[in-house]
A and B are shown apart, each in its own frame.
Chain A
Amino acid sequence: MALVELKDVGKVYGKRWVALADITFSVDEGEFVFLVGPSGAGKTTLLKLLLAQEKPDSGQIRVAGFDLTKIKKEQIPLLRRKIGAIFQDFKLLPDMTAWENVAFALRVCGYPRKLIKSRTDELLALVGLLHKAKSYPNELSGGEQQRVAIARALVHSPVLLLADEPTGNLDPHSTDEIIQLLLDINRQGTAVIMATHDMEIVERFGFRVLELADGYLVGDRKTNIGGGNLS
């Protein structure tokens, strides 16, 4: 069974504004998928649906074994422990250090203290930021902040990582770093869906590309298979 399955999914905001219509696709475990399209095409809405932040108005969505059209409120936390999410604006808490930001995600899920410590160190090491554990977000560069956000998104060892324009605020060098990190994570078995409107990245790395325009899925193609290496 596929990790993510969408069938004829539609989402309408208010009464008239159609954010998504007739979206059908599936993503397998361990896949890397780019979600492209101009601003307002529905990329963010789609990711919100996958995170169960919004409910679809029509169609069916299955993510990691949960039926999101019928999911109960108390099951949403369970779903979100299988999905990591990162965003353009990082969403780090400014009054906490990098370490505390990652540990926060574990604390609020009721993990024991010992586990929190070792796991946080481990995740910060994974994203290469253990030496900046005590820095506050405003002391970190954009790329570093995004890496902290990635570490936080990985606390539950998710099966799926959603990235909403993760490189939107970053310089080219940091962008490459972040994408390399996402590739590493993907190589270790986590499926990644990355929304972006930076076609240059997409062309360079290849993988599967889902293209959205005005709420419709207008393309599902694989580009440059076998590529995907930074050199």
Chain B
Amino acid sequence: MYRKISPMYPNISPMHQEFSPVYSWRVHMYPAFSPVYQRRSPVSLSISPCEVDCGGVYLREKPVDKMGALWFATQEAVKSFWRHRFVAMLSIITIAGALFVLGFFITITLNLHSVLAGVQEKIAVELFLKDNITKVQVSSLMDEISKIEGVREVEFITKADAMKRFTDRFGQKYLVGLEENPFPPSILVKLEPGTKLDQTVKSIVDKYRGHKFITQISAPGKVARKLSNALKIFLILSAIWAVILFFGAIIIIVNTLKLAIYSRKESIEIMKLVGATDSFIHLPFMIEGSLNGALAGGLASVVLYLALTGMKKIIPAMQMPPDALYYGIVLLGIALGVLGSRLAVKRFL
């Protein structure tokens, strides 16, 4: 009674249709994503011992529907995401929080950097020279100094310049009664701002202390120099935070997906049983993980933007981060999602 079925494939010969029921052909299938599908393993075709010769009509077409597979995986991912929307929301908010703090840290570091750069630009080392130094000696000394790493600018200050500098600042009254210019000529070394400033100062002082033309060196005070260390500490803190965030977020995503995987244990079991490839089974979870990450990144970006715009109104001098930071946070979120889902799939499937 259940054999009156129209033939499914036009390329099956009428003879086969006549003699053999539904089982007259073997569909030769290739898994959707399997790397091995080009290697055709010869199917040992059964010549039936029973009265009907099953023949074995191969269907050479490859029913690999990649778009269909992707569509299936996306549907499954969204369905599962919706089923666990509260857990997903929790994980998204947590990860978004972490990403937000990271973005905030980066903005603070950026601002600190620009403030420090402003301060450091004013920091200079001044080398006071002997009065009897010749112009040639000065210029060779300047050449030498400007070659030191971290030196931005070298300027020669003559005795007259030094005097002018003093009078500009303090007026003439202190110089009354002096017969000759008491100020020595000097070389003013301006430095490149940055974390290496401290080192540059040290190397200049070490090199020229006790030099035959140099009487005295005036280097910036300790506090000014330590500013560069503050920047360094901030950079390190940001990096440590980024690392902690990275692992934390991955653990959160792995656990969210663990729940998704467990709630679909039955269907995964059946998928394996009927010969779905591993990549096909994994794909929905990868998509779900990336979805979690992308939403967390997006949320963090939006909140960060709003928070910084609000702060800018209170502190107008604040420097805003480049737009790339917002995109970067979204991308980082997606990357976390993909990585987390890979780990989850590896561990629980």
Binding site for B on A (CB under 8 A): 1, 3, 28-31, 51, 64-66, 73-75, 77-82, 85, 91, 93, 104-105, 107-113, 115, 118-119, 122-123, 125-128, 152-153, 155-157, 159, 185-191
Contact = CB atoms under 8 A, between A and B. Distances in A.
A205 to B, nearest CB: 15
Interface string B1-17: 11101001000000000
B65 A113 contact: yes
B273 A115 contact: no
Category for how many chain B residues contact A: 35 or more
Given A123-B22, A156-B27, A190-B46, 16 more contacts: A30-B50, A74-B36, A74-B277, A77-B275, A79-B275, A80-B273, A81-B29, A91-B273, A108-B276, A108-B281, A109-B32, A109-B274, A110-B277, A122-B8, A159-B44, A188-B24
A65 B275 contact: no
11 contacts: A74-B36, A81-B274, A91-B269, A93-B267, A109-B280, A110-B277, A110-B280, A112-B63, A159-B26, A188-B21, A189-B47
A128 B43 CA distance: 29
A224 B271 CA distance: 38
B247 interface: no
Contact of B273 (A85, A113, A185, A188): A85
A29 B46 contact: yes
A29 B44 contact: yes
Contact of A75 (B36, B63, B271, B280): B36
B65 A110 contact: yes
Most buried by A among B25, B68, B269, B281: B68
Given A80-B273, A187-B50, A190-B46, A112 B8 contact: no
Contact of A189 (B1, B3, B48, B270): B48
Contacts of A153: 274
Given A110-B69, A189-B54, A190-B46, A157 B276 contact: no
Contacts of A80: 272-275
Interface string B258-298: 00000000110111111111101100000000000000000
B44 A3 contact: yes
Given A30-B49, A65-B44, A110-B69, A78 B5 contact: no
Contacts, number: 156
Contact of A91 (B23, B36, B266): B266
B5 to A, nearest CB: 5
B31 interface: yes
A133 B21 CA distance: 21
Nearest to B47: A29
